[in-house]
Amino acid sequence: MMKKKYDLTGKTALVTGGSRGIGQAIALALAEAGADIALNYRSRENEAAQVRLKVESCGRRCTAVQADVSVAADVSRMIKSVEETLGVVSILVNNAGIASRRSIEELTEKDWDETMAVNLKSVFLVTQAVLPAMRSKKWGRIINMSSVATQLGGIIGPHYTASKAGILGLTHAYASQLAGEGITVNAVAPGLIETEMIAGNRHTQPARIPVGRLGSPQEVAEVVVMLARNGFITGQTININGGLYMS
């Protein structure tokens, strides 16, 4: 009885930015937990195709859909394509993001607008697109990728930190309004996870992390799977940062 309740078999999960890094690990972990996977990517078609093969080798169905999640028309096309191929989305992981490092002096309006659109507006657009189906089924899980930057200021710049803090506001707004409808909405706040995003950033200093190393994408993914299974955690931020920030 308990097993059935926590089983993700037959559910469709959409992972934005699933072609590499943390998103790839989340897609694979959700597939191992039983979900069919819709993988979104922006430009790395070959990498997305590799992840699709790995998901399929777990015995799950998978589709990879190109879309810029900061563009409403792309998001509508993506959701239509996913619904036609795999059915409605029950688990949404808003993971896609960019991190262009800028000093206070370098930061331009263009940087600000682009970062807000890709990291924050996208969460609103994709959530808005999947919510009608979740509400009609009275079951849904939305997991948004924030960052330890919201707590510590971060190593990318004010634009990035503000976009990730905005995600916490969206998470709380949706969580409080949807709690009575079987839909949970949570944020995950990783810190210094070994991916391309932080590679080469000279401010990435593992020695400053209390556990003494960078985190792995899999360590984030297992928390996302836990949130996808759990129906009583909502409106929370789960910190995965090796003790860099203690809440």
Q: Report the run of H or E that residue 222 belongs to, with start and end.
A: helix 217-229
H-helix segments, 106-213: 109-115, 122-137, 149-152, 158-178
Active-site residue (options: 6, 41, 160, 245):
160
Whichever of 26 and 183 has its CB closer to ligand NAP, that residue is: 26
Whichever of 52 and 177 has its CB closer to ligand NAP, that residue is: 52
Q: Answer yes or no: are the C-beta atoms of 149 and 193 closer than 8 Å.
A: no
Q: Answer yes or no: are the C-beta atoms of 44 and 19 closer than 8 Å.
A: yes
Query: Shortest distance, CB of residue 182 to ligand NAP, whole angstroms?
Result: 26
Chain positions contacting ligand NAP, by CB under 6 A = 16-17, 19-23, 40-44, 47, 68-70, 95-99, 118, 145, 147, 190-193, 195-198
Q: Answer yes or no: are the C-beta atoms of 188 and 141 closer than 8 Å.
A: no
Whichever of 134 and 145 has its CB closer to ligand NAP, that residue is: 145
Which residue is associated with the tokens 């990783």?
190
3-state secondary structure of 184: strand
Query: Shortest distance, CB of residue 162 to ligand NAP, whole angstroms?
Result: 13
Whichever of 98 and 183 has its CB closer to ligand NAP, that residue is: 98
Active site residue 174: no
Catalytic positions, written as ranges: 160
